[in-house]
């Protein structure tokens, strides 16, 4: 013989519709099979609650039940023939989902096909900075980063529970991970939802914390992370390594590791993206006579030939000798800007030579700026400086 349906739900016979709904919701949550690891007694209770709720939530059914008892709603073999029915677990779960599945926080708890999905706290992000030389940028490189941070505790496999003990539903929020505060307003009941302070929205609390980590699920460890630095990075570029940051408490998702690059200034070059500018100093005689000179590139020294009569400000364009472009791997340009160097201290011998030269060299052109200047102007335009 079924118990009194009001008693099943723990409400008074004069309870309002809202009270019945609320009582069912609360008890059904507590005995929901998802939350009790398929415990048989909970399952039976969940079905019983659902059966009672199905009758009492409907005003017509409820009136029949109030007048005639179980007989009025088809239970106990009476003539009613409708209303009360024994439900199996799948039906009970469907009824619960039908009425509460899309109701505020319930989605978060029983979403994803009825499985629990409470908040798991995420670990923090970690920032690291890696200093690189221009050669590192030219070729790309590998680095091993040593991180000291909180990592999963081996003693409890990150659960925070002492091995052999279990977690239990949080008594404050009954495992929902959130607490609801109802208050009356002019427009009816107003419900606010906030994360449960007792379990920090996790829904469970420990019966005994793991002695290694004190229940946090994490211990301080040192660990190494291998980092591939792609060619062509620049200062302030960064790489995000998902899940390589601090582990989340109690098996929560790990934060990210964000590696920022800091490329050392190379006194030999000015850098603009993947292009480089190198100032080549030539002596008077080198500039006048031309010849082979050795210049540095990010990939090693190279020999280039300078035409006789090279002017200060002339720019030589060495395509493909700049830095790799991080987006497509193509290489930028190395601009070699010629500067004719004037000696500042003359030995008596040099002084004599320059005096002799001055009598035979002739006048320089009146208009300044040869072809080299024009190229330099164009280059500056291209750089936007």
The residues binding Zn ion (CB under 5 A) are: 153, 155-156, 170, 172-173, 196, 198-199, 210, 212-213
Q: How far is the CB of 42 from Zn ion (least distance, A)?
A: 19
Q: Report the residue number, 126 or 173, with the smaller CB distance to Zn ion.
A: 173
CA 353 to chain centroid: 69
What is the Cα–Cα distance from 195 to 176, expressed in whole angstroms?
A: 9
Q: For residues 81 and 64, give the distance between their C-alpha atoms in angstroms, rounded to a whole number.
A: 12
- CB-wise, 119 or 270, nearer to Zn ion? 119
Query: Which residue from 302, 215, 301, 293 is spatially nearest to 250, judged by alpha carbons?
Result: 215
Q: For residues 158 and 255, which CB has a smaller minimum distance to Zn ion in the complex?
A: 158
Q: In this structure, what is the dihedral angle of CA atoms 192, 195, 196, 198, given to the nearest 10 degrees?
A: -140
Query: Tokens 């009425």 correspond to what residue?
Result: 99
Least Å distance between CB 268 and Zn ion?
53
Q: Of 133, 138, 140, 141, which Cα lies nearest the Cα of 321?
A: 138
* Shortest Å, Cβ 244 to Zn ion: 21
Q: Which is nearer to Zn ion, 95 or 156 (CB)?
A: 156
Nearest-approach distance from CB 23 to Zn ion, in angstroms: 20
* Minimum gap (Å) between residue 175 Cβ and Zn ion: 7
From CA 170, how far away is CA 368, in angstroms rounded?
Answer: 84
Q: Minimum CB separation from Zn ion for residue 190, in Å?
A: 22
Provide, rounded to whole angstroms, the least separation between the CB of residue 209 and Zn ion. 8
Taking the C-alpha atoms of residue 202 and residue 123, their distance in angstroms, rounded to an integer, is 14
Q: Which residue, 45 or 118, is less far from Zn ion as judged by CB?
A: 118
- In the chain, beta strands by DSSP E: 126-132, 141-152, 167-169, 178-185, 188-195, 204-206, 218-229, 238-241, 257-263, 269-272, 275-282, 291-297, 300-306, 315-324, 331-340
Q: Tell me how crowded residue 91 is: count the other CB atoms within 10 A of its CB.
A: 15
Closer to Zn ion by CB, 211 or 291: give it.
211
Q: Which is nearer to Zn ion, 195 or 290 (CB)?
A: 195
């Amino acid at each position: 013989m079924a118990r009194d349906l009001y008693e099943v739900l723990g409400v008074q016979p004069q309870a309002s519709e809202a009270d019945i709904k609320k009582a069912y919701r609360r008890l059904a949550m507590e005995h929901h099979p998802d939350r009790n690891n398929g415990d048989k007694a909970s399952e039976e209770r969940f079905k019983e609650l659902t059966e009672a709720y199905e009758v009492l939530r409907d005003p017509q059914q409820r009136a029949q039940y109030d007048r005639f008892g179980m007989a009025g709603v088809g239970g106990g073999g009476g003539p009613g023939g409708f209303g009360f029915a024994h439900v199996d677990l799948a039906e009970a779960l469907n009824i619960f989902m039908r009425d509460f599945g899309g109701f505020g926080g319930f989605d978060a708890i029983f979403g994803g096909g009825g499985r629990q999905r409470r908040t798991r706290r995420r670990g923090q992000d970690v920032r690291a900075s890696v200093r690189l030389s221009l050669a590192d940028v030219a070729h790309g490189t590998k680095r091993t980063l040593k991180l000291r941070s909180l990592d999963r505790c081996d003693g409890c496999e990150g659960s925070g529970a002492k091995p052999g003990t279990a977690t239990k539903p949080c008594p404050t929020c009954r495992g929902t991970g959130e607490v609801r505060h109802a208050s009356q307003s002019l427009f009816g009941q107003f419900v606010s939802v906030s994360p449960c302070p007792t379990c920090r929205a996790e829904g469970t609390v420990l019966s005994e914390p793991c002695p290694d980590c004190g229940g946090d699920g994490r211990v301080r460890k040192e660990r190494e992370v291998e980092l591939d630095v792609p060619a062509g990075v620049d200062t302030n570029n960064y790489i995000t390594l998902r899940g390589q940051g601090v582990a989340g408490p109690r098996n929560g998702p790990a934060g990210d590791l964000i590696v920022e690059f800091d490329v050392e200034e190379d006194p030999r070059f000015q850098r603009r993206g993947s292009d480089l500018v190198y100032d080549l100093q030539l002596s008077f005689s080198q500039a006048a006579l031309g010849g082979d000179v050795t210049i540095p590139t990010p990939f090693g020294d190279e020999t280039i030939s300078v035409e006789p009569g090279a002017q200060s400000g002339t720019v030589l364009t060495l395509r493909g000798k700049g830095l790799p472009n991080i987006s497509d791997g193509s290489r930028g340009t190395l601009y070699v800007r010629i500067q004719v160097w004037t000696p500042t201290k003359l030995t008596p011998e040099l002084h004599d030579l320059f005096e002799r030269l001055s009598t035979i060299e002739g006048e320089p052109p009146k208009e300044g700026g040869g072809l080299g200047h024009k190229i330099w102007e164009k280059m500056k335009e291209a750089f936007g400086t």
